[in-house]
Chain A
């Protein structure tokens, strides 16, 4: 290694014992290794989740759709509004409302139930699947990410947030899910 030979004649007169040169090198290497071993702390791998920024005003109220006007060229988005109620920061209840589901539908309190519900209602074109999460203001960010995760896993890549509500947005006339 490094072209080091154990013994080399210098000017044919004196000999340098390279073993003695290697020893401090080895010592130093061990010191470095010990330092890195002690300070080694693997970090968890971070990932990214893209979101749609909240609209300044509700698009539906700004430009109300006229149901009598049909545009065959433009397919309407498959949009759902996911309402999440909170109890001490955790998910209390999830209710879904959308074009396919005009009456709010209670899907349960687990993100997996939401995922199962949404995955049955997604359309083939990914960009048409849109979800807007309307959550209670006290909901923990961890739970919000769980809901968002369920939506993305169900094929709804376009996720946005509606204004947080003071009270439980799911409280009302939601039909109980199965």
Chain B
């Protein structure tokens, strides 16, 4: 880092301004890219890959994210101490969610259900959740996957 005025008998001083500029640019970049902790996303849930997975719709503001671990237990929030395991627990949970959600003219729940299931969980566990959601009149359901390819 140089660039300070050098003259006969004058002192040489480094110019820190470009360095400072660069560092601040980098800091800003990392601040923007930083992953803020999201309660509903559980990083322990390893999603499967899918090439046809579409980009997420940022316009949706009324949604419910459910994480499903490798054993098929439904985690309502991150590190949920009381995950839902049985059909009865799921039915109660979805019924409560439906009560507090907005509904369309046909009585269907407007809220979008997003399922983030671990890739090692089995189909019957995921189907159990879908069935319970259907019974509670959830209509819009999305499965999450890592965009591959």
Contact = CB atoms under 8 A, between A and B. Distances in A.
A131 interface: no
A1 B20 contact: yes
A56 to B, nearest CB: 7
Contact of A141 (B17, B52, B123): B123
**Which of A19, A30, A49 neighbours the largest number of chain B CB atoms within 10 Å of its CB?**
A49
Contacts of A144: 123, 126
Given A40-B30, A141-B126, A46 B20 contact: no
Contacts of B52: 49, 149, 152-153
Interface string A130-170: 00000111111110111011001100000001011000000
Nearest to A138: B122
B121 to A, nearest CB: 5
Interface in B103-149: 114, 116-127, 130-131, 133-135, 138-147
A139 B141 CA distance: 20
The bracket for how many chain B residues form the interface is 35 or more
Interface of A: 1, 4, 6, 19, 22-23, 25-26, 29-30, 32-33, 36-37, 39-51, 53-56, 89, 135-142, 144-146, 148-149, 152-153, 161, 163-164
Interface of B: 13, 16-17, 19-21, 23-24, 26-27, 30-31, 33-35, 47-57, 68, 114, 116-127, 130-131, 133-135, 138-147
Given A40-B33, A44-B146, 15 more contacts: A19-B13, A22-B17, A33-B30, A46-B116, A46-B144, A46-B147, A49-B145, A51-B143, A55-B134, A139-B122, A141-B68, A141-B119, A141-B123, A141-B125, A164-B124
